[in-house]
Amino acid sequence: MIIFLDCETTGLPLPMGTDIILQPHITEIYAALTTSKGKIKAEFETLINPGVPIPDFITKITGIDDMTLIDEPPFIDIAREFESFMGKAKTMVAHNLMFDKTMIDLEYQRIGKQSPTPKNLFCTVEQSMHIKGYRLHLKELHQLATGLPEIPGAHRAKNDVLAMIKCWKWLREQ
């Protein structure tokens, strides 16, 4: 089984060695457990209260604000269920995989646990660099894969994962 994953966050990870308190937090996770052909078999979707204010620029990108997350659980409350879900996959796919993996690692580090990481990792950014010779944004890769000019509801975890699955299928065919 394959996990396709995307996280929305309060910002970009800071350099290694930066105090964990200063590192950004996850605000939304969507993961789809799929067959080897990309057919979705199960989903994990949650908003997360990061316990810190959402920067205005993040709200402009994602539409997620403090009020959206006020009644949502903190990461520690969903960690065990997420870990169980991740344990069902042998491969994890993400667009800019190291960003999502780093964010998950940071959240588990905050609660003193080891982050669940499948054995095999596939990054659609890395796997598409040969196409134009640079890192493609998901929107650009999706446009190449589908011919569509936009990703409906882009910058929300589920919508980005659904677009990424199409990109992954297209990349496998190339």
In the chain, the domains with their CATH numbers are 2-123 (3.30.420.10)
Task: Give the global pTM.
Answer: 0.92
Q: pLDDT exceeding 90 applies to what percent of the chain?
A: 85
Cβ atoms of residues 135 and 129 within 8 Å? yes
* Stretch 117-143: mean pLDDT: 93
> What is the DSSP code string of 33-86?
EE-TT--EEEEEEEE---SSPPPHHHHHHH---HHHHTTSPPHHHHHHHHHHHH
Structure confidence by residue, pLDDT tens digits, 35-61: 999 999 999 999 999 999 999 999 999
DSSP secondary structure letter of residue 152: T
Checking if the pLDDT of 107 tops 90, the result is yes
* Stretch 23-39: mean pLDDT: 95
Q: How many CA atoms lie within 13 A of 122 on its CB side?
A: 20
